[in-house]
């Protein structure tokens, strides 16, 4: 500021000196005054030019360097430049943070939709677009009520009571493959709305399975308990002969055995789901497995066909080697397949059990029976817990409805594949294919 005043005074002084020197009259002091005024005018003109250049620089969106300027205008331009660059940097950082935030929302497994006051879409991520069938390029700024046509959603949006979430069918919902969405709206600044959606199909399916499982377990246990209670009451209240009492005790033992089998299978499933994957350094002889399977199968067949023609059982172990994994799990899975064949094959029928090594080094275990077979619509659900093709027949044979579920879990834990091939009236074939890494030949 002092430099600016000094420059102004200097121009006046130079003008006054020039006017005095160039005066040809006696009134030289008047000439000096006019020279001083002319110097001041020149200073104002030059200063106005510098101000104009500074203004042009400020209007040029960031070109804050002008080599012709100096003094206060140069400093003003430099300070404005630093301020502009600082704000530009802050704006760039804010833009980057916004992009990072939108990228995080884009990566969210939940759907996110930003709505304005009029319920028009300002932004949404790809998950929300999939949930509601939106086109990110076409549907922006469109009213969400015109795009999501579910009546329940329209009522939810109009009521503006967003304390509870809303469940509605998903875009690809069908009776055979239900899809369920959960969504909730959260108001935020300026009357805008944040719509969050998530696919709860798996959760609802798991909840349904849990309810069905509890109901099935309760039903399966209630039946033998009711029978046992009836027999106990009969034994307590009626005078029975020794033969009648013996018959009742046999029936009671059968029902107790049925409950014990159910509890054992439930514990087996629980243990399989909660334990680590079996190691690959524990080996079991394939011939030992087949020998135990044959002993159990023949004992069960003799019990079932005590008063009928015996079943024809054939066991063929074509691979003399070892299989790695949990020995008890492998025996349980293969034993379930064999016992199912024995239970459902009529007296005089044929059951073939075979184990062999395939050309690619994988081990194949197969159980083939000549039983009644299974209709094709039942095959996809056979490994579900408590699923039975014929409930009355299953209970007659002593099945719990958990055998194939156990087989499936054991197969998954050992990296094996369970195959089922059956046709109504033509028997059934169940197979387990074990990977090469779990098979080795005997040294």
Please say which residue of 46, 74, 99 terminates a domain: 99
Per-residue confidence band for 369, with pLDDT thresholds at 50, 70 and 90:
very high
Please say which residue of 152, 175, 199 terminates a domain: 199
Task: With a cut of 90, say whether residue 257 has pLDDT above it.
Answer: no
158 and 228 assigned to the same domain: no
Q: List Cβ neighbours of 14 (8 Å cut-off, separation of 6 or more).
A: 39
Select from 441, 423, 419 the least CA-distant residue to 371: 423
> Taking the CB of residue 385, how many other CB atoms lie within 10 A of it?
19
Domain of 231, CATH number, reads 1.10.287.130
Rounded CA gap, 399 and 212, in Å?
18
Rounded CA gap, 338 and 351, in Å?
9
183 and 144 assigned to the same domain: yes
267 and 386 assigned to the same domain: no
Please say which residue of 199, 232, 255 terminates a domain: 199
237 and 330 assigned to the same domain: no
Select from 282, 370, 374, 351 the least CA-distant residue to 323: 282
242 and 174 assigned to the same domain: no
247 and 396 assigned to the same domain: no
Task: Answer whether 0.85 is exceeded by the pTM.
Answer: no
| H helix or E strand, kind and range, residue 369 | strand 363-369
What's residue 18's pLDDT? 62
Report the chain's mean pLDDT, rounded to a whole number: 80
Give how many domains the chain has, as a whole number. Answer: 4
Rounded CA gap, 291 and 237, in Å?
48
Render 33-101 in DSSP notation, one character per residue.
Answer: HHHHHHHHHHHHHHHHHHHHHHHHHHHTTS----TT--HHHHHHHHHHHHHHHHHHHHHHHHHHHHHHH
Q: Which domain holds residue 179?
A: 108-199
290 and 269 assigned to the same domain: no
257 and 116 assigned to the same domain: no
437 and 311 assigned to the same domain: yes
Q: CA 244, 250, 252: angle at the middle one, nearest 5? A: 100
228 in Cβ contact with 252 (< 8 Å): yes
212 and 190 assigned to the same domain: no
User: How do residues 3-12 score in pLDDT, each as one tens digit?
Assistant: 566 665 665 5
What's residue 109's pLDDT? 82
368 and 402 assigned to the same domain: yes
93 and 79 assigned to the same domain: yes
User: How do residues 330-348 score in pLDDT, each as one tens digit?
Assistant: 998 999 999 889 988 888 8
Between 128 and 58, residue with greater pLDDT = 128
What's residue 314's pLDDT? 94
Select from 368, 373, 363, 334 the least CA-distant residue to 440: 363
Domain of 156, CATH number, reads 3.30.450.20
What's residue 67's pLDDT? 47
Compute the 3-state secondary structure of the chain and give helix, strand, coil in percent, each to the nearest 5.
55, 15, 30
User: How do residues 23-52 score in pLDDT, each as one tens digit?
Assistant: 655 566 666 666 666 666 766 666 667 666
Q: What distance, in Å, lies between the first and last C-alpha atoms of the chain?
A: 101
Interior/surface letters 94-112, b for 16+ CB within 10 angstroms, e for the rest:
eeeeeeeeeeebeeeeebb
User: How do residues 161-199 score in pLDDT, each as one tens digit?
Assistant: 888 888 888 877 777 778 888 899 999 888 889 999 988
Percent of the chain with pLDDT over 70: 77
What's residue 355's pLDDT? 94
């Amino acid at each position: 500021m002092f430099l600016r005043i000094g420059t102004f005074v200097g121009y006046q002084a130079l003008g006054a000196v020039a006017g005095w020197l160039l005066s040809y009259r006696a009134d030289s002091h008047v000439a000096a005054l006019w020279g001083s005024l002319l110097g001041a005018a020149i200073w104002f003109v030059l200063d106005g030019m510098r101000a104009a250049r500074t203004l042009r620089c400020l209007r040029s969106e960031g070109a804050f360097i002008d080599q012709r300027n100096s003094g206060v205008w140069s400093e003003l331009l430099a300070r404005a430049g630093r301020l502009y660059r600082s704000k530009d940097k802050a704006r760039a950082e804010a833009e980057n943070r916004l992009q990072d935030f939108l990228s995080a929302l884009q990566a969210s497994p939940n759907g996110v939709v930003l709505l304005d006051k009029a319920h028009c879409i300002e932004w949404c991520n790809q998950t929300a677009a999939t949930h509601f069938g939106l086109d990110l390029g076409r549907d922006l700024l469109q009213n969400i009520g015109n795009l999501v046509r579910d009546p329940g959603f329209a009522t939810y949006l109009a009521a503006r009571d967003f304390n509870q979430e809303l469940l509605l069918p998903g875009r690809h919902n069908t009776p055979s493959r239900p899809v369920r969405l959960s969504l909730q709206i959260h108001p935020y600044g300026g009357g805008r709305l944040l719509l969050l959606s998530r696919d709860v199909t798996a959760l609802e399916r798991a909840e349904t399975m849990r309810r069905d499982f509890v109901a099935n377990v309760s039903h399966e246990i209630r039946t033998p308990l009711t029978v046992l209670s009836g027999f106990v009451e009969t034994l307590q209240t009626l005078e029975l002969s020794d033969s009648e009492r013996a018959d009742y005790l046999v029936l009671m033992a059968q029902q107790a055995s049925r409950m014990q089998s159910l509890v054992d299978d439930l514990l087996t499933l629980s243990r399989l789901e909660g334990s680590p994957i079996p190691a690959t350094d524990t080996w079991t002889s394939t011939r030992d497995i087949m020998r135990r399977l044959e002993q159990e199968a023949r004992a069960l067949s003799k019990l079932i066909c005590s008063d009928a023609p015996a079943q024809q059982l054939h066991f063929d172990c074509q691979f003399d080697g070892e299989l790695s994994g949990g020995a008890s799990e492998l025996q349980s899975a293969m034993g379930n397949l064999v016992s199912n064949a024995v239970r459902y094959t009529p007296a005089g029928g044929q059951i073939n059990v075979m184990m062999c090594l395939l050309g690619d080094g994988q081990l194949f275990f197969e159980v083939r029976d000549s039983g009644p077979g299974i209709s094709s619509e039942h095959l996809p659900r056979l490994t579900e817990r408590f699923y039975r093709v014929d409930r009355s027949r299953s209970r007659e044979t002593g099945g719990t409805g958990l055998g194939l579920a156990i087989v499936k879990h054991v197969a998954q834990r050992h990296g094996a594949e369970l195959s089922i091939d059956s046709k109504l009236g033509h028997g059934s074939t169940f197979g387990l294919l074990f990977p090469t890494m779990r098979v080795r030949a005997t040294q």
